[in-house]
Amino acid sequence: MNILALDTSTEYLSLALLLDGRLIQREMLAGQSHSQRILPLLRELLDEAGVELSDLDGIAFGAGPGSFTGLRIGCGVAQGLALGADLPVVGVSTLLALAEDAQGADKVIACLDARMGEVYHAAYIKQGAGWKEVVAPGLYKPEDVPAVEGSGWTGAGSGWQSYAEALQQCYVGQAGNLLPEAYPRAAAIAALALPGFLAGEGRIADEAAPVYIRNKVALKTSERLAKANAA
């Protein structure tokens, strides 16, 4: 099966082609230029692989949580490509992608910096070839993240870089291995989406949707000031 995967949920732009088990990737620190860079980078990737969109079986994308603008770009590009090539799509949790890519760890506390003094958080345990969600994705202040049981956890994602002290205090003696520079990567998204495509669970392009978690993604200046003063 041939899958294109993409993620624009953070400042990184990540693309991958999974071609019958062969993986080809392109990644860059795009900042806020995802919309300008993604299609040229995709063209490079397709040319290197010697394939076109018509040769693919599906498109997977990082559905969130993450940057509001980044998620809209990723979902929109996935929809547009899928519509043009008549391909199914599968959205994959960016937090789950962190777990999948966490250097072989089997217990992962995934945490992305959500800005505004908050983190996107979830916890997963490896179960067979897949993952069991033990703490569902949510939005929290770093000092209020949910508890997990036991030790041997790996902390992955930018939340562990931005709020290292608060998170380590919450998980004293539990999270010994930290991967603060990890970000959701398209290769992990492709691997996670593959079983869904094989099971015929791909959706039509119109049904692709981001997962924001934060209900209100934009605050007025007065609201931001009030939030900062309350912190």
DSSP, residue by residue, 105-140: -SEEEEEEEEETTEEEEEEEEEETTEEEEEEEEEEE
pLDDT in the model for residue 214 = 80
Q: Is residue 64 part of a domain?
A: yes
Residues 106 and 55 placed together within one structural domain of the fold? no
Quote the pTM value.
0.91
Calculate the average pLDDT of the chain: 93
Report whether 208 contacts 75 (CB < 8 A): yes
Residues 39 and 150 placed together within one structural domain of the fold? no
Whether 215 shows a pLDDT value over 90: the answer reads no
| Integer Rg of the chain from CA | 18
Residues 188 and 175 placed together within one structural domain of the fold? no
pLDDT in the model for residue 20 = 94
Residues 138 and 166 placed together within one structural domain of the fold? yes
Whether 228 shows a pLDDT value over 50: the answer reads no
Residues 68 and 10 placed together within one structural domain of the fold? yes
CATH of the domain at 127: 3.30.420.40
The average pLDDT across 13-32 equals 96
42 contacts: CB under 8 Å, gap ≥ 6: 4, 6, 15, 26
Residues 9 and 86 placed together within one structural domain of the fold? yes
In the chain, the number of structural domains is: 2
**102-146, pLDDT tens digit by residue?**
999 999 999 999 999 999 999 999 999 999 999 999 999 999 999
Q: Is residue 227 part of a domain?
A: no
d(CA 170, CA 175): 9
d(CA 170, CA 72): 32
Closest CA to 96 of 196, 172, 21: 196
Q: Is residue 226 part of a domain?
A: no
d(CA 59, CA 61): 7
pLDDT in the model for residue 131 = 98
Kindly report the length of the chain: 231
Q: What are phi and psi of 66, to 5 degrees?
A: 165, -160
Whether 223 shows a pLDDT value over 60: the answer reads no
Structure tokens at 222: 């007065």
Q: Which stretches of the chain are assigned E, i.e. beta strand? A: 2-7, 12-19, 22-29, 58-64, 89-93, 107-115, 118-127, 130-140, 153-156, 175-179
Q: Is residue 229 part of a domain?
A: no
The model's confidence at residue 216, banded by pLDDT at 50, 70 and 90, is: very low
Report whether 15 contacts 4 (CB < 8 A): yes
Residues 89 and 107 placed together within one structural domain of the fold? no
**172-183, pLDDT tens digit by residue?**
999 989 999 999
Q: What are phi and psi of 136, to 5 degrees?
A: -70, 150
Structure tokens at 218: 């934009």
231 contacts: CB under 8 Å, gap ≥ 6: 117
**27-68, pLDDT tens digit by residue?**
999 999 999 999 999 999 999 999 999 999 999 999 999 999
Whether 225 shows a pLDDT value over 70: the answer reads no
Q: Which domain holds residue 188?
A: 2-93+184-221
